[in-house]
Structure 1
Amino acid sequence: MNSNDEITERSTRRNVLKYGGTLAAGTALAGCSRLVGQSENGDADSDGTYSVTMAPMGEVSFDSPPESVFTRLTHHAGMAFALGRGDDVNAMHAPEYYDQLWNQFTERLPGVTLDWTGLYSSWDPSKEKLYELDSDVHLADPASVNALDSKNSSDVEEIRDTIAPWFGNKFSDRHDEPPAEWADRYEYYTLWEMFEKVAQAFREEERYEGLAEIHANLIETIEEKLPPEQERPTAVLAGMSDIDSIYVYTLDTPGFLTAHVRPLSPVGALSDTISSGDAIDMEVLLEADPDVIFSLGGLHPETDMAGIRSSLRDHAAGRKLSAVQNERVYPQGARYQGPILNLFQLEMTAKQLYPDVFGEWPTYTEGPYPEIPDDEQLFDRQAVAEIITGDR
C-alpha cells in the first residue's frame, strides 16, 4: 500500500471532515461525517457525536472518546492520567524523566500505577511518526506545534485532517504571545479550566467533577488559613542544577506554571528588573535574599537535594542566604503540572511556606513524596486514587 492509500484508509476509517479548508476556521472533526454538536460543553447530538470548544482550535467534534492519545507537554499527559487514561498516552516530551517524576507522587495514591517509559519523545514530532502513531487525538496545542521550525500551517492542518484533531493549549503556561497567525483566536485558561475541557473531550466529566471538588476544597482551606501579608515569607522559585547560573521564575506571573504557588501568596523576592526564566548568579540571589528557596525538579529521583543544599552552604555568598541559614531550601516537582501534581504541590508548598499553619514539611533528601500524617494531609489521597482508577 502506498502512502496515499494509507492516508485515504485513515480518512475513511475515521470519516474525518475538514470544515472550510483552513486552520483559521478553528474547527476540526474526528470520526464524524457531517457538521454536528454545537455545544462547547460536550453535549451529545442525537447520533451520539459531541463537540468541545477550546482555543485555539475552536470547536472540535468527536463520535466517541479518544483511545490512543498523543501529547507533547506533561500538563496534557497529566490530564489524561487524572482521567484514568495514563496508559493510553503514546508520546510525550522526555518520557523517561517525567515517568520517574510522576511516579514520585503516585506512590502515595493507593492502587494507582503509571508507566510512561519507552514512549516516543515528542517535543518536535516528525510527520512520519505522527502517521505511525495514528492517534485518536493530539492532546497538544497546534499553535505551539506551528511555532516549531520544522512545522508550518499546512503540516499542522494535514495532521488534523488526515489523522486526528489537535486539542490543547500551551501558551496559557505564562500567558505568552502565540504565533501571530493564531493571536486573534487565542484564549488563556487556568489549569483546571483546561482540564474541564479535556475531560469533556474524553467524556469523563464525572471524574473531572470529583477532582475539581477536591481541588476547590483544598483552595478553600488555603484561603481560610492564609496568614496576613505582613507575615508571609519572601521566596524564589529556581532551577538549581548549577548554582553558578540559576534560572529563576517570578511567582506572580500569570499562567498554570505557578498554579501551585500563587494561591499561597508568598512575597516575590526578586527585583522588578528580573524576568521569569532569567539566569542569575549567586550575588544577585544574595541581594534578593529570600526566606524560602524552591528548587524546581527537586523531587526527581536523579536530583541530589542534599548536594544542592551542601553546595549552597559551601558557596561564599550562598552560605549567607537566609533560606540556607534557616534550612528552608525545599524541593518542588514540575511546572508543567497536571491536576494530580497540582494537588500534591499545593499541599507541599503550603507546608513549606507556612509550617505553623499547615503542618511541617519533612526534610526531604530522596525518595517519593514523603508520607504525611493523616491528620496533616490537606486532601484525601484515597478519594483521588479512586477517581483515577474509576472505583468511585
Structure 2
Amino acid sequence: MAGSSRGPTRREVLVSGGSAAGLALAGCTGGDGDGDGNGSSDDGGGGGGSYTVSMEPVGEVTFESPPERWVANNGSWADMGVALGHEPPEALWLTSRYHTRYYDGIPDVSVDTSGMTDLYQNGVDKELFYELDADVHVIDPNFLLNRYSGWEQADIDEIDESVGPFFGNSIFSQEYAWHDDYQYYTLYEAFGKLAEAFQEQERYEQFVALHEEFQGRVEEIVPPEGERPEVAILWADGDQPETFLPYLISEGTSFKQWRDLGVRDALANSEVEDFHTNRGELDFETLLEVDPEVLLLRGQEGKTASEFQDTVVSFLENDDVASRLTAVQNGDVYRGGPLYQGPITNLVLTERAAGQVYGIEEELFDRDEVAGIVTGQ
C-alpha cells in the first residue's frame, strides 16, 4: 500500500484525541444542526466529543475534532470554507477555476491560491493525497471514479482509511448520469453539511439569515416574466472564440444566480442540446439561428469586465457573422459566471448578473456584514 511506511497520519492523530493548531480565524461555534434535519452530533454541538455528519454519497462520517487541513474538489466548497472562517483548502481539482477576485470588494476577506495544489495534473496521482495529508477530503468520490479513469473504489477506500475521509457531493451540476442515484444538495444544504463538519453552525446560520434577506431584495428587482430577456449560457475559451459549448440552465448550483433572477433560457426553446448530453459545440451560424437577446460566456472569469470587452466582445463585434447577433449589436454580451460558486461568491455573482440582465446598479448585500460573519466579529 502506498504510504505504508509513514508515521501516524493526521487522521490518526485526530482520532486518538491529539491536539492541533486551531482554526485560522477565531469565531463563535455551536448550534445543533444545519437547518435541514440531516446529520447529527454525538455531543450536541461540538463541545469536545466526537460527532457524526451525514453526506451523500459517503454516508455518515465521524469526526473526533473539527478538521483543520483539508482538500476540496472545487471553488464551491473552498468558498464555503472561507465563509465559515476556515483556512482555505490545501488543494483543488483545478486552482485556476477558483476565482478569488470576487472577494476584492469585501473587507478583510482575501485568498491567495498561489500555494494551493492542483489535484488534476494530467491525471490524479493517489500519492498526492498522502503528500497533502488532509484531515478531510471534501470531494464526491464518484467524481473521482467517473471523471478520471485511473481510480477505483479500492483507491477511495485506501485514502479514506489511511489519510482522511471523503466528504462531498457534486452539487455544481445535475447533468451527470452517474449522479442520478443519490441525493443532490442545494448550495445552502451543502453549506450546512460543511458547517457541521467544521463545527461552525453559528456562522452558517448567520449566512442563512443574510441570504434570506438578499433573496428578498432579488425578488423585488425581477421584472414580470414577459419582460425578462432570453439568454444563452455558453462556454467560450480564449480571446477569440469561434465555437461554444452550450449550457442549458439546470438545477445545479452553478446556475443558481440565473434561476433566482428568473431569466428565460433561449437554448431550452431551441433544438440545441446541453453540452453534457452529446459534448456538442455551436458555431456562429447555429447561434445566429437561436439569436438570444443576451449572451453569457463562461470560461472568461479570469478577465475583468473591461478586459473581456477589449478582447472577446471586440472580436465578436468585428466578425462578419457574430456581429449580426442581436446580443452583440445591442451590447449585451457578458461574462457568464464560473462553474463553481459558494455562499459569498453567489452573492457577488447574483448582484453582478442583476446588473447585466436588468441594469440594476445598486448593491444588493452588505459587504461589511459578510466580512463580519467571516471574521467572527
Query: Which TM bucket (shorter chain)?
Result: 0.7 to 0.9
Aligned equivalents of 2:349, 2:8: Cα separation in 1: 46
- Name 2:224's counterpart in structure 1: 228
- Name 1:301's counterpart in structure 2: 303
Structure 1: which amino acid aligns with 2:352?
M
Deviation at 1:213, TM superposition (A): 1.6
Say whether residues 1:105 and 2:98 are aligned partners: no
Say whether residues 1:292 and 2:278 are aligned partners: no
Matches within 5 A, 1:142-291: 142-147=141-146, 148-170=148-170, 173-178=173-178, 184=181, 186-241=182-237, 242-251=240-249, 253-270=250-267, 271-277=269-275, 278-291=280-293
Aligned residues: 341
- Name 2:32's counterpart in structure 1: none
Change (3 A) 1:272 1:326: closer
Q: Is the 8 A contact 1:72 1:140 kept in 2?
A: yes
Aligned equivalents of 2:54, 2:117: Cα separation in 1: 28
- Name 1:133's counterpart in structure 2: 132
Q: Is the 8 A contact 1:142 1:156 kept in 2?
A: yes
- Name 2:28's counterpart in structure 1: none
Aligned equivalents of 1:172, 1:219: Cα separation in 2: 20
Aligned equivalents of 1:225, 1:88: Cα separation in 2: 34
Structure 2: which amino acid aligns with 1:77?
A
- Name 1:24's counterpart in structure 2: none
Change (3 A) 1:144 1:289: same
Q: Which runs of 4+ in 1 moved over 6 A?
A: none
- 1:227-266: CA deviation from partner (whole Å, max 9, x where unpaired): 1111111111122334321122112x22112011111111
Deviation at 1:325, TM superposition (A): 1.2
Structure 2: which amino acid aligns with 1:176?
Y
Structure 2: which amino acid aligns with 1:300?
G
Structure 2: which amino acid aligns with 1:276?
D
Deviation at 1:142, TM superposition (A): 1.0
3-state SS of the aligned residue for 1:386?
A: helix
Structure 2: which amino acid aligns with 1:264?
L
Deviation at 1:14, TM superposition (A): 4.0
Deviation at 1:171, TM superposition (A): 5.4
Say whether residues 1:83 and 2:84 are aligned partners: yes
Aligned equivalents of 2:312, 2:53: Cα separation in 1: 45
TM-score (norm 1): 0.81
Aligned partner of 2:324 among 317, 320, 327: 320
Structure 2: which amino acid aligns with 1:126?
D
Matches within 5 A, 1:15-94: 15=15, 40-45=38-43, 48-85=49-86, 87-94=87-94
Q: Which stretches in structure 2 are left out of the alignment for 5+ residues?
A: 17-36
3-state SS of the aligned residue for 2:216?
A: helix
| Fraction of identical pairs, as percent | 34
- Alpha-carbon RMSD across the aligned residues, in angstroms, is 2.3
Aligned partner of 1:336 among 340, 346, 350: 340
Deviation at 1:304, TM superposition (A): 3.7
Change (3 A) 1:308 1:5: closer
- The structure whose RCO (Cα within 8 Å, separation 6+) is larger is 2
Q: Is the 8 A contact 1:332 1:345 kept in 2?
A: no
Aligned equivalents of 1:388, 1:71: Cα separation in 2: 19
Change (3 A) 1:240 1:125: closer
Deviation at 1:10, TM superposition (A): 5.8
